Amino acid sequence: MLPKLLVFAYPDEAQVYLNQFPAKTLFQLKSIHCLINEKENVYTLITGSGFENVSVAISVFFERYNHLRENILCFNIGIAGSYGQPLYSVFYTSKITNYHTLKSFYPDVFIKTSMAELMSILFPANKKIMKHYPAALFDMEAFAFANTCRFFVKNHQIHCIKFVSDKDGKISDMFQLLEQYEHKAPEILSIIYQIEQQVNKFFKCNNTKVIYDTTIAQTFSQKMRLTFSQQNQLNKAIQYYLHQHSKDSLDTIFQSALNTEIKSKQERNQVFQQILNKLYNV
Amino acid sequence: MYKHLIYIEEKIAHHPATQRITESLRPAQIVYIQHYKEVLNQTNSHWLFNKEYQKIILAKRENEFYYKGSYLTPTFGFKHFYYNTLAINCLFHCEYCYLQGMYNTPHLVLFLNNQDFIQSTQQLIHQSKEKIYLALSYDTDLVALERYYPYCKEWMWFANNEPRLTIEIRTKSHQIDDIISLTPADNIILSFTLSPEEIQKKYEPFTTKLEQRINALKKAIDKGFRVMICVDPLIYSAEFQTIYSKFLNDVFREIAPKRLYAASIGVFRMNKNFFKRIKKNGNPSDIYYYNYVTENKMVSYPKNIRREMIMFVQNILSQKGVKNIHIYD
């Protein structure tokens, strides 16, 4: 199970997921609140709204949990306005644009679900602004979320899922909105699981790095007193050899060399070169 | 290939070819972009992961419709050797390919203003008094892209009326029926990259089998096309001689060497920056663990191995009676 970071602007947006993944507080810093559900490996980060808040919160999170960078999946979940998209529907964002600079971030899309483009704006978008991009969603965090995450993780780990809350920047019935938002949580979770599944599948299938027992190579290195550079060359050659041959045949190559008595650096270098030649089939 | 989403440059959105491609692919999501480089050059991508979900970008090339040939490619005896880039990146995923280190992402860019490329080349021909050799898209496999846009066909029609231009279409695909239905000409060379079965299975997993490529090659010769075989890149292994001699015997059991227009040989070689980048991207192939040497910014086998490999293959080709053998060493 890959670690997941769910980023929300407001506690109200996070609540339904906190009900799903009961969590304890990891840290709280002014408006930033970070919680963890250890069983599901889910981190919830409530940032406060706006570009700056989200950037600061994500930076603080990765400063503290740097070790998660390798494989954590980051999701920005929350509400967004849209003039043209159906109210209370859920979209995975295929393009995230800064409304003010028109710079875009293109998430690595690899699932099949409803998608829409998203505009991130520094202030709440009104009807006039939304009407200009009728198919787009409008929020106040996603661009900063993506741009900050990119400092810490790879693009395929950055995703944004939004729920259409209004058509003109005005929420008429907050109670109904929250009810509908809660109702759509399973759909959002299903997108998250799809993403997790695909990423997991890829990295499981492609983890073909040859892992080998280094004991014999280390014994050889020590006995021959190989230089640091020679040790690196040797490791590379072993990787190459093991792509094509069995581990047993590797041991045989080293056994004969280990029985050789070395009296000078020159002899050491000769034996080392012979080993390299054997490993590279020269 | 991930066809659920495609990227389209706004300036090419209403091009008839764009309409044709979107109608045939029927993507659920079209993302309009200002410039193809926004997506192609996006940094911080995991190249191999994106290759699994490679997307199509439909674009318009604004300039640089042809380039002077690279020093890493053979010039086939032509003084004026050019190549162009009708598409960027490839449908196949050959482990030894430099494309993995050339761009930040593997997404396939198709330039749909092919006629602009053709017009620009026409101007080049008229300006130059000598013959010109133009390799069509070394940065992709154009024949495999013919289903999206008829690049080869349009260039073959053009070449039929431009005797001073020789075009080379190089491929690993076997789907050539469409293009060999056109009129052959002396200035159209169809090049087939062939590799031994062992190499194809190990390093070119998505390409067509050797047998299929040989069949395609035979069909092209029968139709009267000039056909070149490219045994490039030669990949070294302990059984190199056994593998390549069996391979060439198999090839020439099916094809009479005299019917070939030419053959081209080259060992594995790559720009050192591309090589470093591919290793950094985490390509697990054993190709990237060999003890190469770097000469003139190029990574390749040590000279003695290069020479041994080239000589070995060259000798077999000569013995078989292949006439024009081009060597890149």
Measured CA to CA in angstroms, residue B73 lies from A63, B83, B203, B305 at distances of: 47, 10, 21, 19
CA B129 to chain centre: 28
Query: CB–CB of B284 and A276 under 8 A?
Result: no
Q: What is the pTM of this model?
A: 0.91
Smallest Cβ distance to A237: which of B4, B237, B291? B291
- Residues from chain A contacting residue B290 (CB–CB below 8 Å): 240, 280
Confidence of residue B72 (pLDDT cuts 50, 70, 90): low
Residue A193 burial (CB count, 10 A):
12
Higher per-residue confidence, A135 vs B80: A135
Nearest C-alpha of chain A: how many angstroms from B168?
35
Which residues of B lie inside 8 Å of A (Cβ-Cβ)? Answer: 2, 4-5, 7, 28-29, 31, 33, 38-39, 42, 44-46, 48-50, 52-53, 55, 236-238, 284-286, 289-291, 305
Q: Kindly identify which residue of chain A lies nearest to residue B52, measuring between CA atoms.
A: A202
How far apart, in Å, do the first and last CA atoms of chain B sit?
A: 35
Alpha-carbon span A20 to A189, nearest angstrom: 10
pLDDT in the model for residue B165:
95
* Section B67-84 average pLDDT: 77
Number of alpha helices (DSSP H) and beta strands (DSSP E) in chain A: 10, 10
pLDDT of A209 strictly over 70: no
The answer to whether A155 contacts chain B (CB < 8 Å) is yes
The phi, psi pair for B29, rounded to 5°, reads -135, 130
Cα angle vertex A179, ends A174, A183, to 5°? Answer: 145
> Which chain A residue lies closest to B107 (C-alpha atoms)?
A108
Contacts of B42 in chain A (CB under 8 A): 105-106, 155
Cβ B304 vs Cβ B268: under 8 Å = no
Q: Do the beta carbons of residue B5 and residue A94 sit within 8 Å?
A: yes
Q: Which amino acid is at A255?
A: Q
Whether residue B50 and residue A208 make contact (CB cut-off 8 A), yes or no, is: no
A85-89, A146-150, B281-285: which has the minimum mean pLDDT? B281-285
Rounded CA separation A108/B53 (Å): 8
pLDDT for B129 = 84
Residue B79 confidence class, pLDDT cut points 50, 70, 90: confident
Over residues A13-24, mean pLDDT: 94
Backbone angles phi, psi at B101, to 5 degrees: -110, 0
**Which tokens go with B56?**
């199509």
Write the pLDDT tens digit of every residue in B16-47: 999 999 999 999 999 999 999 999 999 999 99
Transcribe A5-24 into DSSP letters. Answer: EEEESSHHHHHHHHHHS--E
Confidence of residue A215 (pLDDT cuts 50, 70, 90): confident
From the CA of B149, how many Å to the nearest CA of chain A? 24
B285 CB neighbours in chain A (<8 A) are 243
pLDDT of residue B189: 96
Backbone phi, psi, residue A193, to 5°: -70, -35
pLDDT tops 60 at residue A210:
no
Residue B74 scores a pLDDT above 70: no
Mean pLDDT of A91-106: 97
| Chain A contact probe: residue of B46, B54, B240, B285 with most A CBs at under 10 A | B46
ipTM for the whole complex: 0.90
**pLDDT at residue A213 greater than cutoff 80:** no
Please check the confidence at residue A211 and state whether its pLDDT lies above 70.
Answer: no
B92: confidence class by pLDDT, cuts 50, 70, 90? very high
Average pLDDT of span B96-113: 96
Q: What is the mean pLDDT of chain B?
A: 94
Give the residue from chain B lying closest to A92, CA to CA.
B29
Please state the rounded mean pLDDT for residues B198-203.
Answer: 94
Instruction: Tell me, rounded to whole angstroms, the distance of Cα A183 from its chain centroid.
Output: 27
Instruction: Identify the three-state secondary structure at position A247.
Output: helix
Average pLDDT over residues B241-245: 96
Please tell me the predicted confidence (pLDDT) of residue A151: 96
Q: Name, in order, each residue with C-beta under 8 angstroms of B242's C-beta and a sequence gap of 6 or more.
A: none
Number of H helices, E strands in chain B: 11, 16
- Main-chain dihedrals φ then ψ at residue B280, nearest 5 degrees: -65, -35
Nearest-10 Cα torsion for A215, A219, A220, A225: 130
- Asked if B31 and A112 come within 8 Å (Cβ–Cβ), the reply is no
Band of residue A24 on the pLDDT scale cut at 50, 70, 90: very high
Half-sphere exposure of B31 (CA within 13 A, CB side): 30
- pLDDT reported for residue B139: 87
Residue A281 with chain B: CB contacts under 8 Å: 236-238
Quick check: A108 and B46 CB within 8 A? Answer: yes
- Looking at the complex, report in whole angstroms how far the Cα of residue A23 sits from the nearest Cα belonging to chain B: 31
Backbone angles phi, psi at A65, to 5 degrees: -125, 50
Q: Are B320 and B248 in contact (CB under 8 A)?
A: yes
* Among chain B residues, CA nearest to A206: B284
Q: How many other C-beta atoms lie within 10 A of the C-beta of residue A277?
A: 12
Instruction: Supply the pLDDT for residue B73.
Output: 64
Across A60-130, where does the E strand assignment appear? 73-81, 90-98, 104-105, 115-120
* A106 contacts B291? CB cut-off 8 A: no
Length of chain A: 282
DSSP character at residue B143: G
Q: Which chain B residues have a beta carbon less than 8 Å from that of A237?
A: 289, 291
Calculate ∠ Cα A271-A273-A275, nearest 5°: 70
Residue B51 confidence (pLDDT): 95
- Per CB-CB distance under 8 Å, the chain A contacts of B281 are none
